[in-house]
Amino acid sequence: MDLGIDRQAHVPVVQQIVSAVVQWIRESGVSPGTRLPSIRQLALDNLLSQSSVIEAYERMVAQGLLAPRQGPGFVVAQPTTSHECNWYEGAEREWGVFADNPLGELKLGCGWLPDAWRESDDISYAIREVTRTDTAGLFNYSTPLGLPALREQLLKRLTQIRIDTRLDQIMTTAGASHAQDLLIRTLLKAGDSVVVETPGYGSLYRQLAFHGVQLLEVPRTRGGPDIPALEALLLAHRPKCLFIQSLYHNPTGTSLCRTVAERLLELAHRENFLIIEEDVYGDLQHASCVRLSALPHDDRVIYVASFSKTLSSALRVGYLCASKAIITQLASLKTLTGFGTSRFAEAVVATLLANGTYRKWVQRLRKRLGTEMTATLQVLEDEEWEVFAAPAGGMFLWARPGAAPSTLLQAYARQLEVLVSPGQLFSPSGEHSEWLRINVAYAADPRALALFRAMGPARSTSTILKATSM
Amino acid sequence: MDLGIDRQAHVPVVQQIVSAVVQWIRESGVSPGTRLPSIRQLALDNLLSQSSVIEAYERMVAQGLLAPRQGPGFVVAQPTTSHECNWYEGAEREWGVFADNPLGELKLGCGWLPDAWRESDDISYAIREVTRTDTAGLFNYSTPLGLPALREQLLKRLTQIRIDTRLDQIMTTAGASHAQDLLIRTLLKAGDSVVVETPGYGSLYRQLAFHGVQLLEVPRTRGGPDIPALEALLLAHRPKCLFIQSLYHNPTGTSLCRTVAERLLELAHRENFLIIEEDVYGDLQHASCVRLSALPHDDRVIYVASFSKTLSSALRVGYLCASKAIITQLASLKTLTGFGTSRFAEAVVATLLANGTYRKWVQRLRKRLGTEMTATLQVLEDEEWEVFAAPAGGMFLWARPGAAPSTLLQAYARQLEVLVSPGQLFSPSGEHSEWLRINVAYAADPRALALFRAMGPARSTSTILKATSM
């Protein structure tokens, strides 16, 4: 099979392979079960490294386009509805849809920033600096709580956002998901019940479900969890924890208002539950904001954050902040289940925090996101989409078309080569929803604009049907 | 407090702080509960960075020398018996004793190589190379199974050691402990029983116990697990798994013989259990060797390894190899509980494997360890210590003094400033044992030689008692 790879092109080789294979599957009309050329053969035919072919095939498997055979090799997969991933269930769905995109589809519903927005010079500098100056960082295990030099920088950051804590209450983790995993294993047992916001982060629902925890759903309003609904759940179930994203909530983009925050803390005190406040988008603010961890909370709030959404997802550096008693248990479990986090990665992040690079970086990021947010809100208003709430920061908007039903939207998005995040990904039960998560960092693309326009009220259903040839 | 820090000395500053504080505690005769100078004050008084003081204090806490106060600051800890750690129980014990050593004690019982044995130029080169050439590696999430370029190198290595596997059966992890954690969570539930070797790796016992799994102990003989004892356990308990280190077993240094290996595979097939074969010391061989994963095993053996013992503990790169069905479950849990491993670290290890650096590195390491092993065996023979078995490779020897009881040995080791690993660390129930784990990489030090000599049969108990002033 000749893939027509162009080594001068700006598109990475792996992506070119994926595009060419996807095109071959579509155009040749092969049936599911048809065997693909072997990795070795495809690499030979196209003068490619085998690892590029492997990476391309694996991405297609994760996206449900190919399936592994019994025995070596891959076959064309059974077609699935929409962009669902059929190999790894659950947590991989988001990765499968958005980590790569065949044919260079626009990742409008993606949970992270475009590669082009990241800044590689600064991070390369910090890596070289650590490599040159910190030999221990290349070899040694980290300490149970994480590298002190990083935690000292984290303490400064936390103090700036008015979180009153101490060095021995801060522990590093390999990202926020790892922090949540340690918390779930330490604080909860199978059969316990917890409150989660809906819509909310699908991976968290699945983490909790894996642990056998019962999920109680509280609706997310514009100002935070719906208090009367929460009170009813507390009364009926006596849950152990509430999991919340206070700022730039995924997927609604909303932030906690002060009245709701104070009420939550009163309830936590009175009804004796803990609050896990996840703040992975917290550095993307351009407005004053309310964090539960920054209010007096009597050790009832545990704070979780990471650098994956701003600095790098590849380094796997996150952290949490809790009472000394809980930190001691978490540090024990962290060491037991992984012998600590990467001292090297922690030294790199510490360098970027200490030399001011990170601060400047997020300042630029906020400004850029703010511009895109304003522009996207304007377009959606013009096209008469319904927006759940105008966010005060972050990267997400929660919106639905004014007229057309979501099935039409998905078909049209596929035709425009736009990947969307339908509302059911943000419901514990996968309940159908007309809402979409929109990442404003991708929303200025002409394909996004075409989608917004096509789903506006001016277009009749028949026009869309015609456009999507349904 | 003036610590008398010498910036020209070869001893790292953090270690100098620890030594000075420990000396102050010993010499000033302060009582437990006495408050230490604040981090800020100690840093100011000695022109040190606060992070150095924090790191020093935390090491002392992990070693049970200091304790955190209620409120900020630290106090002198209640003295504990021997070098037990009293802050983080369990998994941190090994870290607490060996990660750093006040007063530059000799880490004779340590589970890893001395810093001076590691080679920083090669790893620095690979890090710079990845930073320069793989921008995606600086930012992106990895794929669920781990970076294909690394897994391709791992496949080559596994093929060389005759493990018959495929790319989609290899998954990366953040070290071997992380691999074990994923396996335990995927394969076992609370109340299940598993067979572990005794003596064996204490952290594994605690990982299993944390998960509520019942440990059945099979004695480790010179050639592997004791088969009649294992058969009795299988009959009585029908365990789900056997956890084993086939090569250079921790702590005995023994390796599996072919007869035992074949018998284990027969039993696994007949009695329907899985074998988890951990091979973290496997690259340190200088003899032919028997791995269960390299024999026909009908998907009954899962292989676990890592680069922490050879290349770097700081990068956190390990891997495992299992049937496709198990890999799919493991990949799902890995993504769910941490959103993948570090793409950057995996790219660094892939570079070192691909350019041949790793191969040359372990060759040198084997040669050096072989020399030290031979020399240590000779010394122990001269001093009439009992050696469990002469290892065919690796870094560990399991031995006990010919004459003196272990309580005397521990007292004398303390006086010589030698840190030992007493046998009870390698028993699930912490049972008393006269045996010691000796890491030959530290055994040529005059303090080790003095210890071996003092515990030889030529010295009478009264001489030792006199020497240790007991």
> What are residue A12's phi and psi, to 5 degrees?
-55, 150
Nearest to B115 by CA among B350, B448, B421, B442: B442
Q: Which residues of B touch A139 (CB under 8 A)?
A: 115, 118, 120, 123, 312-314
Q: Which residues of B touch A332 (CB under 8 A)?
A: 88-92
Distance from CA of B334 to the nearest CA of A (A): 9
Distance from CA of B187 to the nearest CA of A (A): 13
**Does the beta-carbon distance from B308 to A95 stay under 8 Å?**
no
Mind listing the pLDDT tens digit for each residue in B355-408?
999 999 999 999 999 999 999 999 999 999 999 999 988 999 999 998 766 667
Mind listing the pLDDT tens digit for each residue in B71-87?
778 888 775 433 333 23
| Facing A335 at nearest CB: one of B91, B135, B140 | B91
Distance from CA of A164 to the nearest CA of B (A): 12
Nearest to B347 by CA among B123, B143, B127, B125: B127
Which range is least confidently modeled, A392-406, B22-36, B208-222? Answer: B22-36
Q: What is the pLDDT of residue A63?
A: 62
A393 versus A396: the higher-pLDDT residue is A396
Number of Cα atoms under 13 Å in the Cβ half of residue A120: 16
Q: What is the pLDDT of residue B91?
A: 38
Distance from CA of B166 to the nearest CA of A (A): 8
ipTM at complex level:
0.78
pLDDT tier at B92, thresholds 50, 70, 90: very low
Rounded Cα gap, residues B170 and B317, in angstroms: 13
Q: Which residues of B touch A118 (CB under 8 A)?
A: 138-139
Query: Tokens 């297609």 map to which residue?
Result: A60
> What are residue B441's phi and psi, to 5 degrees?
-65, -15
Check whether B317 has a pLDDT greater than 90: yes
Q: What is the pLDDT of residue B88?
A: 33
Q: Which residues of A touch B178 (CB under 8 A)?
A: 337-339
**Does the beta-carbon distance from A345 to B345 stay under 8 Å?**
yes
Q: What is the pLDDT of residue B266?
A: 98
Q: Please check whether residue A103 is in contact with residue A27, taking contact to mean a CB–CB distance below 8 angstroms.
A: no
Q: Please check whether residue B412 is in contact with residue B455, taking contact to mean a CB–CB distance below 8 angstroms.
A: yes
Query: Span B185-207, mean pLDDT?
Result: 94
DSSP state of B99: S
Q: What is the pLDDT of residue A465?
A: 55
Q: What is the pLDDT of residue A180?
A: 97
Residue B301 three-state SS:
strand
A89 to each of A94, A184, B348, how far by Cα in Å? 10, 21, 29
How many CB pairs (< 8 A) connect A and B?
A: 242
Q: For B167, which residue in chain A has the nearest alpha carbon?
A: A54
Distance from CA of A199 to the nearest CA of B (A): 19
Which range is least confidently modeled, A43-57, A139-153, A245-259, A404-418? Answer: A404-418
Amino acid found at A177: S
pLDDT tier at A300, thresholds 50, 70, 90: very high
| Facing A124 at nearest CB: one of B124, B138, B337 | B138
Q: What is the pLDDT of residue A327?
A: 95
| Facing B342 at nearest CB: one of A39, A168, A314 | A314
**Does the beta-carbon distance from A88 to B331 stay under 8 Å?**
yes
| Facing A342 at nearest CB: one of B95, B140, B345 | B345
Mind listing the pLDDT tens digit for each residue in A203-243?
899 899 988 999 999 999 999 999 999 999 999 999 999 99
Query: Span A342-363, mean pLDDT?
Result: 92
Q: What is the DSSP string of A294-340?
A: GS--TT-EEEEEESTTTT-SSS--EEEE--HHHHHHHHHHHHHHHSS
| Facing A54 at nearest CB: one of B127, B138, B148 | B148
**Does the beta-carbon distance from B139 to A168 stay under 8 Å?**
no
Rounded Cα gap, residues A279 and A176, in angstroms: 9
**Plot region of B356 (φ>0 → left; ψ -120 to 50 → alpha; else → beta):** left
| Facing A181 at nearest CB: one of B54, B127, B337 | B337
Count of beta carbons in the 10 Å neighbourhood of residue A222? 15
State the best of B13, B323, B339 to mutate against chain A, taking most chain A CBs within 10 Å.
B339
Residue B178 three-state SS:
helix
Query: Tokens 């090799």 map to which residue?
Result: A73
Q: What is the pLDDT of residue A51?
A: 83
Check whether A64 has a pLDDT greater than 70: no
Strand segments, DSSP code E, in B282-390 are 301-306, 318-321, 386-387
DSSP state of A70: S
Query: Tokens 């100002």 map to which residue?
Result: A223
Count of beta carbons in the 10 Å neighbourhood of residue B1? 13
Q: Which residues of A touch B250 (CB under 8 A)?
A: none
**In this structure, are strands A214-221 and A193-198 parallel, antiparallel, or unpaired?**
parallel
Token pair, residue B367, equals 């040669």
In this structure, is the dihedral angle defined by the CA atoms of residues B68, B69, B72 and B74, taken in order, positive or negative? negative
**Does the beta-carbon distance from A314 to B140 stay under 8 Å?**
yes
| Facing B88 at nearest CB: one of A88, A135, A332 | A332
Mind listing the pLDDT tens digit for each residue in A81-111?
333 332 233 334 555 556 655 557 899 998 8
**Does the beta-carbon distance from A145 to B58 stay under 8 Å?**
yes
Q: Which residues of A touch B124 (CB under 8 A)?
A: 131-132, 138
Which range is least confidently modeled, B231-240, B254-263, B328-337? Answer: B328-337
> What are residue A241's phi and psi, to 5 degrees?
-145, 155
Strand segments, DSSP code E, in A224-272 are 224-225, 241-244
pLDDT tier at B96, thresholds 50, 70, 90: low
B16 to each of A130, A147, A285, A342, B388, how far by Cα in Å? 22, 18, 43, 24, 37
Q: What is the pLDDT of residue B223?
A: 95
